[in-house]
């Protein structure tokens, strides 16, 4: 029985092998590459930048001028085309380019390099590089660097609208900036986002308008978004947003009228948040006046006294602050808030004793 089964298995295996032609190309096994694949990404504003490449090693070889010859186009990596993908329009080497994926090539020299971005990103390295496909070409001066065994790309010095791309290998490094138009890219993104679910509430329109206001962006567009927010639902927040935009545009009379309208419909939380925004702007006296109004309009709310106490403490009026905090303490039943306020009062009293001594 054992012998028959074993022979049957051999026969089945032989039939399977016989079904594969002797000349057939079977897929290769997956084994480690000498120059492993890598990618590095960075977000600037709402722009995603990704460099995809392969990382060759020095491996005790002379790199510059030999393994990588001077004055010959180099793929700036190994194996396939090194690529740069940018999700929004951007500027590189003084050239404005649309969003997309570009092939990255270099022309190394002993003192200066050329960096080229190609419209073709699917080539095998630089072997089929065609200068006519360049969309940007600029000069970069390499600098000495610490030893780096494997080629590395990284991003340095990120800001709101730029970042430096750094290539480092062996004892050489070079870098070049990628820049974006932050306001333009964000405005374009907001326009797309406002076609989604957010368009059905007032908050998204107001948030978009606030972006343009706070970043000195497209105020005309911001005003349209503020109007749409008010049309959807008139609130303290969007009336004040529109007022601030109009004030920046020079229409102070309408801005003041809108602020007056906003105060008429403001609730306790609206006024509280407004007071804290004034505190954040170091407008302490104005904040105190706003918090006092909230106490007057909502005398049964412990939170109004608590906020007033914070503003008075910021002003340096410790006596009035203690009174306001103490009133809030007697009104709240929340144990967490009681502990917090007690801790504040204890600290203020300790500071008062220290000042006297």
353 pLDDT exceeds 90? no
Compute the average pLDDT of residues 266-290: 94
Q: How many other β-carbons are positioned within 10 Å of the β-carbon of residue 318?
A: 15
Do 74 and 60 lie in one domain? The reply is yes
Do 43 and 169 lie in one domain? The reply is yes
175 domain residue, yes or no: yes
357 domain residue, yes or no: yes
Question: Nearest 5 degrees, angle CA 194-CA 233-CA 243?
Answer: 85
10 pLDDT exceeds 80? no
Compute the average pLDDT of residues 250-269: 96
Do 105 and 82 lie in one domain? The reply is yes
Number of separate domains in the chain: 3
14 pLDDT exceeds 80? no
Do 173 and 242 lie in one domain? The reply is no
Q: How many angstroms separate the CA atoms of 107 and 126, rounded? A: 10
CB-CB contact of 155 with 40 (8 Å): yes
CB-CB contact of 314 with 337 (8 Å): no
Do 90 and 176 lie in one domain? The reply is yes
Which of 131, 163, 180 is the last residue in one of the domains? 180
Compute the average pLDDT of residues 99-108: 98
Which of 180, 205, 234 is the last residue in one of the domains? 180
52 pLDDT exceeds 90? yes
CB-CB contact of 223 with 246 (8 Å): yes
139 domain residue, yes or no: yes
Do 64 and 171 lie in one domain? The reply is yes
CB-CB contact of 238 with 270 (8 Å): no
The CATH number of residue 346's host domain is 1.25.40.10
Q: How far is CA 344 from CA 272, 280, 321, 357, in A?
A: 19, 20, 10, 20
The DSSP output letter for 298 is -
Q: How many angstroms separate the CA atoms of 259 and 195, rounded? A: 29
Q: Which residue matches tokens 């007690």?
A: 342
pLDDT at 352: 75
* Of 193, 184, 97, the residue nearest 136 (C-alpha): 97
CB-CB contact of 103 with 112 (8 Å): no
Compute the average pLDDT of residues 143-154: 97
Can you say whether residue 59 is alpha, beta or left, with left for phi > 0 and alpha for psi between -120 and 50 degrees? Answer: left
The DSSP output letter for 196 is S
Task: Please tell me the total number of residues recorded for the chain in this structure.
Answer: 357
Do 241 and 303 lie in one domain? The reply is no
Q: Which residue matches tokens 């190994």?
A: 78
Tens-place pLDDT, residues 73-83: 999 999 999 99
Give the distance, in angstroms, between the CA of residue 23 and the centroid of all CA atoms in the same chain: 53
* Residue 157 dihedral angles phi and psi, to the nearest 5°: 55, 50
Residues of the chain with pLDDT > 70, as a percent, come to 92
pLDDT at 143: 96
Structural domain that includes position 319: 280-357
CB-CB contact of 267 with 238 (8 Å): no
Do 41 and 175 lie in one domain? The reply is yes
The CATH number of residue 249's host domain is 1.25.40
Q: How far is CA 298 from CA 179, 261, 289, 302, in A?
A: 50, 19, 14, 9
pLDDT at 18: 52
Tens-place pLDDT, residues 174-222: 999 999 999 999 999 999 999 999 999 999 999 999 999 999 999 999 9
pLDDT at 5: 37
Return the CA Rg of the chain: 33
3 domain residue, yes or no: no
Q: How many angstroms separate the CA atoms of 6 and 109, rounded? A: 67
β-pair type (134-140, 113-118): antiparallel
pLDDT at 356: 65
Which of 265, 297, 320 is the last residue in one of the domains? 265
- Strands in 134-140's sheet, in edge-to-edge order, are 37-44, 47-54, 82-86, 100-107, 113-118, 134-140
21 pLDDT exceeds 90? no
Question: Nearest 5 degrees, angle CA 27-CA 28-CA 34?
Answer: 150
75 domain residue, yes or no: yes
Do 172 and 64 lie in one domain? The reply is yes
224 pLDDT exceeds 70? yes
pLDDT at 254: 97
Do 107 and 171 lie in one domain? The reply is yes
* Residue 126 dihedral angles phi and psi, to the nearest 5°: -110, 15
Q: How many angstroms separate the CA atoms of 255 and 241, rounded? A: 9
Question: Nearest 5 degrees, angle CA 304-CA 306-CA 309?
Answer: 110
Compute the average pLDDT of residues 299-326: 94
218 domain residue, yes or no: yes
Band of residue 357 on the pLDDT scale cut at 50, 70, 90: low
12 domain residue, yes or no: no
Do 76 and 136 lie in one domain? The reply is yes
pLDDT at 30: 84
6 pLDDT exceeds 60? no
pLDDT at 191: 97
Q: Which residue matches tokens 């368009």?
A: 199
Band of residue 24 on the pLDDT scale cut at 50, 70, 90: confident
Class of residue 305 by CB neighbours under 10 A (exposed 0-12, middle 13-18, buried 19+):
buried
Compute the average pLDDT of residues 102-116: 97
23 pLDDT exceeds 90? no
327 domain residue, yes or no: yes
Mean pLDDT of the chain: 92
Compute the average pLDDT of residues 148-153: 98
Do 148 and 192 lie in one domain? The reply is no
């Amino acid at each position: 029985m054992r012998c028959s089964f074993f022979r049957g298995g051999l026969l089945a295996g032989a039939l399977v092998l016989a079904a594969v032609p002797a000349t057939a190309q079977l897929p290769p096994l997956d084994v480690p590459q000498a120059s492993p694949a890598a990618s590095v990404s960075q977000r600037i504003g709402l722009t995603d930048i990704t460099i995809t490449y392969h990382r060759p090693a020095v491996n005790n070889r002379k790199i510059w001028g030999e393994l990588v010859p001077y004055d010959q186009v180099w793929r700036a990596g190994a194996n396939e085309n090194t690529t740069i993908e940018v999700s929004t329009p951007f500027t590189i080497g003084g050239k404005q380019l649309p969003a997309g994926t570009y092939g990255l090539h270099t022309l190394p020299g002993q003192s200066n390099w050329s960096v080229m971005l190609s419209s073709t990103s699917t080539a095998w390295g630089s072997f089929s590089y065609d200068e006519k496909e360049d969309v940007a070409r600029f000069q970069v001066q390499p600098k000495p660097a610490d030893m780096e065994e494997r080629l590395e790309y990284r991003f340095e010095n990120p800001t709101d609208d730029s970042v430096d791309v750094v290539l480092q290998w062996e004892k050489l490094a070079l870098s070049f900036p990628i820049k974006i138009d932050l306001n333009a890219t964000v405005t374009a993104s907001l326009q797309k986002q406002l076609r989604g679910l957010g368009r059905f509430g007032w908050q998204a329109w107001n948030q978009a308008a606030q972006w343009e206001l706070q970043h000195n962006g497209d105020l005309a567009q911001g005003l349209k978004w503020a109007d749409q927010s008010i049309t959807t639902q008139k609130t303290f927040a969007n009336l004040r947003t529109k007022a601030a935009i109009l004030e920046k545009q020079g229409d102070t009379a309408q801005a003041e009228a809108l602020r007056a309208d906003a105060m008429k419909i403001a609730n306790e939380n609206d006024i509280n948040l407004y007071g804290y925004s004034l505190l954040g702007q170091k407008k302490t006296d104005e904040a105190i006046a706003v918090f006092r109004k909230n106490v007057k309009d909502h005398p049964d709310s412990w939170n109004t006294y608590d906020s007033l106490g914070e503003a008075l403490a910021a002003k340096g009026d410790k006596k009035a602050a203690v009174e306001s905090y103490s009133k809030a303490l007697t009104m709240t039943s929340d144990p967490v808030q009681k502990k917090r306020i007690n801790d504040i009062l204890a600290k203020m009293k300790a500071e008062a004793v220290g000042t006297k001594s």
